[in-house]
Structure 1
C-alpha cells in the first residue's frame, strides 16, 4: 500500500508539470503580457513606458519558455514559466496582478466554497442513492416509470434556469431568503439555503439515473439470484447486498466532485454573490489575471489526483478482494 501511494505521488509530478505547461501555453496564445498590462492599467494610463514598467514589476518582462540571451540552465530558469509556474510545487502561488496574496485569498475564500459544496455533496449523495434504490425496488412500476421521466426532465433543464427561477420565486416573490450575499456564523445559513437546494436539484436527474443503472446491473448478477434462492426478501437483497457491492462505482463517481468541494461552483457563487473560490476564478478570468487562473488550475489538478489516490485506497476497504501492490 505504501509503495503504491509513493508511486502515485511520483507519477503526479509530470502530470502537474504538463497541466501547468498546457495552461500556460493556452493562456498566452490568446493573451500576451502587453495585453494584460493594457487591461490592468486602463485606457487613460496606457503608454509604452507604463506597459514596460508594469511588466517588469510583475516579472512579465522575461521570455515565456526559453531565454536565448542567457547561458546554461538560465536559458530555462530566467523565463516566465519557471518563475511563475514551478514555484507552485512548494505552494508558493505568488501575488495576483493587483498585488493581493493569492494563498491568503484562497484560504479566506475556501470556507464559503466548502459551506456550499459539502452540504450539496453529502445531502445530494443521500438523496440520489435513496431515490435510485426506491426506483429499483419498485422497478417496472409506475413509480419507476415516472421517476425516470422526471429524471430526464431535470436533465433537460439548464442549471442556470434553476438559479434564475429560484432567485425570482423564493427570494424576490416570497422573500424567504436573501437573493444574494453571504454572512458569518449562523447568519450564513439563510444565504446558503437556496444555493444548496438548487445545487442538489440541478444535478438530481443525471445522478439518480446513473445510480439506478448501477443498481440494476448489480441486480442481474449471480450473487443476487443466490440470495433470492436462499429465501432472502427483496428489501434485504437490495439494501444489504446490492448497495454494498455497488460501493465501488459509487466511490468512483464521488471522486469527480472532490475538486469542486474546494474550488466551489462557478455559476452558483457568481449569481448568489458568495465570496468563494468559484467567483474568485470567474473574476480572474474576466480580468485576465493569469496568476490566479494558473493557481486555481494547479490546485484543482492536485485535488483531483489526491481524490484518485484516496478512491483507490477506499476500494480495499469496501472490497477486500482488491489489493494495491
Structure 2
C-alpha cells in the first residue's frame, strides 16, 4: 500500500508540472507583463516608467525561463517561471497584484467555502442516493417513471434558476433567511441555510438519475437473484447488497466533488455574498489578477489528483476483490 501511494504521488508531479507550464504559457505568452501592467494601472495613457515600476515591484521585470545575465543556478531561479510557478510546489503563492498575501487569503476564505461545501456534499449524497434507491425499489411503476421525468426536467434547468428562485421565494417572499451575506461564528449558520439548500436541490436531478442507473445495473446481477431466492426482502437486498456492491462507481463520481469542498462554488458564493475561495477566484478573474488565478488553478489540480488517489485507496476498503498491485 505504501509503495503504491508513493508511486502515485510521483506520477502526480509531471501532471502538476504540465499544468503549471500550460497555465504559465496562457498567462505570460498570451498576456505579456507589459499588458498586465497596463490593465492593472487602469489608465489609457500609461508612461513607460510607470509600467517598468509596476513590473519591478512584482517581479515581472525578469526573464521568463532563462536569465542569461545571472550566474550559476540563478540563471534558472532568477526568472518569472521560478518565482511565479515553481515556488507554488512549496505552497509559496506570493502576493496578489493588489499586494495582499495569497496564502493568507486562502486560509481565511477556506472556512466559509467548507461551511457550504461540506454540508452540501453530505446532505446531497444522502438525499440523492436515498431517492435513487426509492426509484429502484418502485422500478417499472408510475412512481419510477414520474421520478425519472422530474430528474431530467431538474437537470435541464440552469443552476442560476435555483439560486435566483431560492433567493426570491425563501428569502424575499417567505423571509425565512437572509438573502445574502455572511458572518463568522454560530450566527453565520442562518446565512448558510439557503446556499446549502439551493446547492442540494440543484444537484438532485443529475445525481439521482446517475445513481439510479448504477443501482439498476446491480439489481440485474446474479448475486441479487440469489439473495432473493434465499428469502431476503427487497429492502434488505437493496440496502445490504446492491448499495454495498455499487460503492465503486459511487466513489468514482464522488471524487469529482472533492476539489469543490475546498475551492468552493463559484456561482453560489458570488450570488450569496459568501467570502469563500469561489468568490475569491471570480473577483480575481474580474480584476484580471493572474497571480491569484494561477494559485487557484494549481490548488484545484492538486486537490483533484489527491482525490483520485484517495478514491483508488477507498476501492480496496469497499471491495476486497480490488488489490493494489
Question: Shared fold (TM-score greater than 0.5)?
Answer: yes
Stretches (4+) displaced over 4 A: 68-75
Greater mean alpha carbon deviation, residues 289-298 or residues 66-75: 66-75
Aligned to 1:297: 297
Give the C-alpha shift of residue 219 in structure 1: 0.6
SS class of match (2:269): helix
Q: Distance in 2 between matches of 1:73 and 1:17?
A: 19
Give the C-alpha shift of residue 229 in structure 1: 1.8
Segments of 5+ residues of structure 2 without an aligned counterpart are none
Provide Cα deviations, 1:11-50, integer angstroms capped at 9, x if missing partner.
Answer: 1111111011111111234322112212222217822101
**2:171 is aligned with 1:184:** no
**2:58 is aligned with 1:58:** yes
Q: Distance in 2 between matches of 1:149 and 1:91?
A: 47
Q: TM-score, normalised by structure 2?
A: 0.96
Aligned to 2:258: 258
SS class of match (1:257): helix
Aligned to 2:21: 21
Provide Cα deviations, 1:70-110, integer angstroms capped at 9, x if missing partner.
Answer: 56654433321111111111111111111111111000000
Aligned to 1:214: 214
Q: Distance in 2 between matches of 1:28 and 1:155?
A: 38
Segments of 5+ residues of structure 1 without an aligned counterpart are none
Q: Distance in 2 between matches of 1:44 and 1:177?
A: 44
**2:240 is aligned with 1:240:** yes
**2:71 is aligned with 1:35:** no
Q: Distance in 1 between matches of 2:100 and 2:32?
A: 21
**2:310 is aligned with 1:310:** yes
Q: Distance in 1 between matches of 2:34 and 2:178?
A: 41
Quote the RMSD (CA, aligned, Å). Answer: 1.4
Number of aligned residues: 325
**2:220 is aligned with 1:204:** no
**2:283 is aligned with 1:283:** yes
Within 5 Å, give how 1:103-252 maps onto structure 2: 103-252=103-252
Give the C-alpha shift of residue 173 in structure 1: 2.3
Provide Cα deviations, 1:143-202, integer angstroms capped at 9, x if missing partner.
Answer: 101000100010110001111111122222222211111011121111111110110111
SS class of match (2:154): helix
Provide Cα deviations, 1:185-231, integer angstroms capped at 9, x if missing partner.
Answer: 12111111111011011111110000000000001111111111222
